[in-house]
Amino acid sequence: MFCQKCGTQNPDDASFCSQCGNQFFFIDKPKSNFPYKPVGIISAIVSILFFPIVFGILSIFCGYKVYKQESEGWGIGISTFGAICMISGLIIGFIEGMKI
């Protein structure tokens, strides 16, 4: 990590700058207790069969929250899976609607 005051590179776990003595402050991201991962995955799967736009958007939103609060990889995966399932649900709905 670099000191914001003098620009000296310091170890990531340093509390003070080794050059100028500037104190470093660490801000932890607040975590939510809401289970965004399972809700995102389940809503993506549900979006294939029922209300693809609503459940697809819910899944993408949950993926975004996971990306911001927990894990970038999981967040991108859930959002992508939600978008794919939403598009699949729309295509299936269109095909089924054409049969009637």
pLDDT, tens digit, 9 for 90 and up, residues 30-82? 667 889 999 999 999 999 988 999 999 999 999 999 999 888 999 999 999 99
| Cα separation, 14 vs 9, whole angstroms | 10
| Cα separation, 72 vs 100, whole angstroms | 43
Please measure the distance between the N-terminal and C-terminal CA atoms of the chain and give it in whole angstroms: 63
Question: What's the length of the chain?
Answer: 100
How confident is the model at residue 27, as a pLDDT? Answer: 64
| Cα separation, 35 vs 43, whole angstroms | 12
Contact call for residues 6 and 17 (beta carbons, < 8 A): yes
User: Structure tokens of 63?
Assistant: 């993926």
